[in-house]
Amino acid sequence: MSETVNFLPVAEEPEETLSMNPKKFILWMFVVSIVMLFAAMTSAYLVRRAEGNWLEFKMPAIFMYSTVVLLVSSASMHWAYRAAKKDDFGVLRTAISITFAFGLAFLVMQFLGWKDLVAQNVYFVGNPSGSFMYVFTGLHAFHLISGLLVLLFALRAAFKLKIHAKNLTQIEVCMTYWHFLDILWVYLFGFLLYFN
């Protein structure tokens, strides 16, 4: 071989195989796809809004309260996770049940919000500004229902004592998804308020 070969950088360290729990990774991939779904929706909203002919209406106040409810459920989710880490089963069950109940309450409040919109004469069919409102809240509610299903499995596992300090994957997956749905709603709510 020629002499130049000797000048090549000598001995790279063997790189560690980068790796995390595949289940958690899959969840993050789902999160990316949901983010893209809503990114497309909100971009469509902005593009359409810039064209004019845009109906302006008041955001129902109940969406403000539902946001608070969802934030509380997120906090109790975190509380449940910390309890699971400490093997504090009583607290875990209480906290995870609270999360589930507040999640349900959020859904009901979203539905009441739709009723308020109808009372304001803002319908799904009509000016796109109103239609987008229903699509955003509806799609988010659809994902929240899927979050409640995940939560239901975690709830069952918690009551069967399957979640403990040595087996946290399930509650971690559940927690990440729930926090994500929470952040997603805060983003949508802020977006709708700002670009009304």
Partner 1 sequence: MAHVEEHDHHEELPFWRKYIFSEDHKVIAKQYMFSGIFWAIIGASLSILFRLQLGFPDMKLEWLRPILGGWIDESGRLDPEFYLALVTMHGTIMVFFVLTAGLSGTFSNFLIPLQVGARDMASGFLNMLSYWFFFVSSLLMFFSLFIETGPASGGWVIYPPLSALPQAMSGSGLGMTLWLLSMAIFIVSQLLGGINYITTVINLRTRGMSFSKLPLTIWAFLLTAILGLISFPVLLSAALLLIFDRSMGTSFYLSEIYIGGEALPNVGGSPILFQHLFWFLGHPEVYIVLLPALGITSEIIATNSRKPIFGYRAMIASMIGIAFLAFIVWAHHMFVTGMNPFLGSIFMFLTLIIAVPSAVKAFNYITTLWRGNIVFTPAMLFSIGLVSFFISGGLTGIILGNSALDIQLHDTYFVVAHFHLVMGAASAFGFLAGVYHWFPKFFGRMMNKTLGYIHFWFTFVGIYLVFFPMHYIGIAGFPRRYYSFTTYEAFRTFGDLNMFVSLAAIMTFSAQFLFLWNFFYSIFKGKKAPLNPWKSNTLEWTTPLHPGHGNWPGEIPPVYRWAYDYSKPGANDDFIPQNVPYSQTPESNLPHENALIALEKEIEAQNYNDQFKQPH
Interface ranges with partner 1 (CB under 8 A)? 1, 5-6, 8-23, 25-26, 29-30, 32-34, 36-37, 39-41, 44, 47-48, 51, 53-54, 124-128, 131, 135, 139
State how far the Cα of 184 lies from the Cα of 176, in Å rounded to an integer. Answer: 12
Residue 78 C-beta: closest distance to partner 1, Å? 26
CA distances from 50 to 47, 129, 188 (A): 5, 11, 18
CB of residue 171 vs partner 1: minimum separation in angstroms? 16
Of the pair 20, 119, the CB lying nearest partner 1 is at: 20
Q: Which is nearer to partner 1, 69 or 181 (CB)?
A: 181
Enclosing H/E stretch for 182: helix 169-194
- Please identify, using beta-carbon distances, which residue of 43 and 101 lies nearer to partner 1: 43
As measured in angstroms, the least distance from the Cβ of 29 to partner 1 is 4
Kindly list the distances between the CA atom of residue 26 and the CA atoms of 141, 157, 184, in Å, as whole numbers in the listed order. Answer: 22, 21, 18
- In whole angstroms, the minimum distance from the beta carbon of 60 to partner 1 comes to 20
* Closest of 194, 193, 175 to residue 31, by C-alpha: 175
Q: Return the half-sphere exposure (C-beta side, CA atoms, 13 A cut-off) of residue 170.
A: 19
Return the number of the residue (11 or 119) whose C-beta is nearest partner 1: 11
